[in-house]
Amino acid sequence: MTTRKSVSKRPTLSAQDEYRADVAAYVAAGGDELVQRVITAVHGLAHKLDQWYARQLADLDLSAGEWAVLSRLARSNEDEALTPSQLAEATSVAPSSMTHRLDRMAERDLIARATDPDNRTRVLITLTDEGWATFKAAVRESDMVESDVLGPLSSRQRENLASLLEVLIAGLDEAPQV
Amino acid sequence: MTTRKSVSKRPTLSAQDEYRADVAAYVAAGGDELVQRVITAVHGLAHKLDQWYARQLADLDLSAGEWAVLSRLARSNEDEALTPSQLAEATSVAPSSMTHRLDRMAERDLIARATDPDNRTRVLITLTDEGWATFKAAVRESDMVESDVLGPLSSRQRENLASLLEVLIAGLDEAPQV
DNA sequence: ATCGAATACTTCGACTTCGAAATAATAGCA
DNA sequence: TGCTATTATTTCGAAGTCGAAGTATTCGAT
């Protein structure tokens, strides 16, 4: 009985093993080790979180793109209304795609369209009560997952991590066009 | 001269301002502040990096998805060949999408398809020399951008940041199905 | 006041992705 | 060996996204 090439073995690497293999490959190809550890970890985390969000948003019948619109509107509904173009820019999508996305969201009464009285070329988008409720529900659900992810860190470590990341965020504005 | 409703003002918020506004909105909606600071920063960084990658990859005529395939193959070409399904899983895409993606990549001689001699149901994908060269070129380009992003941190801080993130990565395997 | 350029959104055609059904080959069991 | 269940990939139709062209409104110069 020879073992006949164990091709069917596929143990599904753990997130940690995936991470290590990725870093190794990037370093082997000429990347700096410390840089690759940080960047690969950031991507791995973001990606994993995105997968979880997608599952939770599906419960609320929202796509990631729709969530992005809700989220962007939620953080500036009172003071300033946003136009479709601004939403497209903010959520990294083409203006034409935003038109359709807003169509669907208006159909479901999550947002409302109104032409700007001061400039009738413009359309102003606002969150409806329904939209607000959906936003808050999503945040509360997500916060639970996110708290779990940060579970292994103490309060002090979280503070430390947040500070380091915020330094990088601040630095993003330095050299905008790379 | 009245100021007549400054609607046309759109100063394009800095990455830092965007970050702060997002955190504020999530906290207002019921999220934990420290958690939201970390998570929002991770997402913001990943998103910004993705934008830069997209620009660089465009130079090499690669989509983000094609890069994902190249990258996954590059880190395990010697020991194990991968099937389309495994690549689909690894890059978070439907198997049917992978079929088309591999079609295009094979057309450009970045990858090669070969039926597994041990199980003719399977197709094994490998990187061609051209594929390898493209992978390495992309890594070297990306590493420059990434180094810039980490510029504001000292070596010691980078090490600290990497360690904290790696704790979180390790924790992802604990509670897989949320 | 009016013409032309600029701005903002939408419509259109092409392409990518998805999920489900179809196709092909293997593995296990009688 | 022959039959059935399983595994793996591809094909197909529906939906989302993109860039470009189209439409409507405003702004500025004459």
**pLDDT for residue A42:** 96
Query: DSSP secondary-structure letter at B178?
Result: -
**Average of per-residue pLDDT values in chain B:** 86
Which of these ranges, A98-112, A148-162, B111-125, has the smallest mean pLDDT?
B111-125
The mean pLDDT value for B128-140 works out to 91
B175 has pLDDT over 80: no
pLDDT-based confidence at A54, cuts 50/70/90? Answer: confident
Q: How far is B158 from chain A (nearest CA, A)?
A: 7
Assign A143 a pLDDT band (cuts: 50, 70, 90). confident
- Measured CA to CA, the distance from residue A92 to residue B107 in angstroms comes to 30
pLDDT in tens, B137-147: 998 888 888 99
Burial tier of B170 (Cβ tally within 10 Å: 0-12, 13-18, 19+): middle
Phi, psi angles (nearest 5°) of residue A63: -90, 165
Joined together, the tokens standing for residue B115 give: 């039926």
At the top level of CATH, the class of A61-144 is mainly alpha
Q: Whole-angstrom Cα distance, residue A111 to residue A95?
A: 17
Mean of the pLDDT values across residues A17-35? Answer: 91
Query: Residue A31 and residue B142: Cβ atoms within 8 Å?
Result: yes
For residue B105, is pLDDT > 60? yes
pLDDT value of position A3: 31
Query: At residue B178, does pLDDT exceed 90?
Result: no
The total of other beta-carbon atoms located within 10 Å of residue A166's CB is 19
CATH label, B61-142, candidates 3.40.50.1100, 3.30.750.24, 1.20.1250.20, 1.10.10.10? 1.10.10.10
User: What pLDDT is stored for residue A94 in this prediction?
Assistant: 95
What sign results for the dihedral spanned by CA atoms B69, A165, B33, B11? negative
> Whole-angstrom Cα distance, residue B140 to residue B146?
10
Residue B2 has pLDDT above 70, yes or no: no
- Coil, strand or helix at A177: coil
Q: Is the predicted pLDDT of residue A168 greater than 70, yes or no?
A: yes
What is the average pLDDT score of chain A? Answer: 87
Residues in chain B, how many? 178
Domain boundaries, chain A: 15-59, 61-144
- Smallest CA–CA distance from A157 into chain B, residue: B164
pLDDT tens for each residue of A62-94: 999 999 999 999 988 666 789 999 999 999 999
Helix intervals (H) in chain A = 15-28, 33-59, 64-74, 84-90, 95-107, 129-149, 155-172
Say how far A111 CA is from C6 C1', in Å. 29
pLDDT in tens, B87-102: 999 999 999 999 999 9
Residue pLDDT, tens place only, B45-72: 999 998 888 888 888 999 999 999 999 9
- Residue B27: what pLDDT? 92
The CA distance from A52 to A61, in Å, is 14
- Cα A82–Cα A88–Cα A92 angle in degrees, nearest 5: 135
Report percent pLDDT > 90 for chain B: 60
Q: Looking at the complex, report in whole angstroms how far the Cα of residue B1 sits from the nearest Cα belonging to chain A.
A: 17
Q: Which residues touch strand D (CB under 7 A)?
A: A 8, 63, 65, 92-97, 100-101, 104, 119-121; B 83-86, 95-96, 98-100, 102, 113, 119, 121-123
Which residues of chain B have a CB within 8 Å of the CB of A24?
75
Whether A71 has its CB under 8 Å from any CB of chain B: the answer is yes
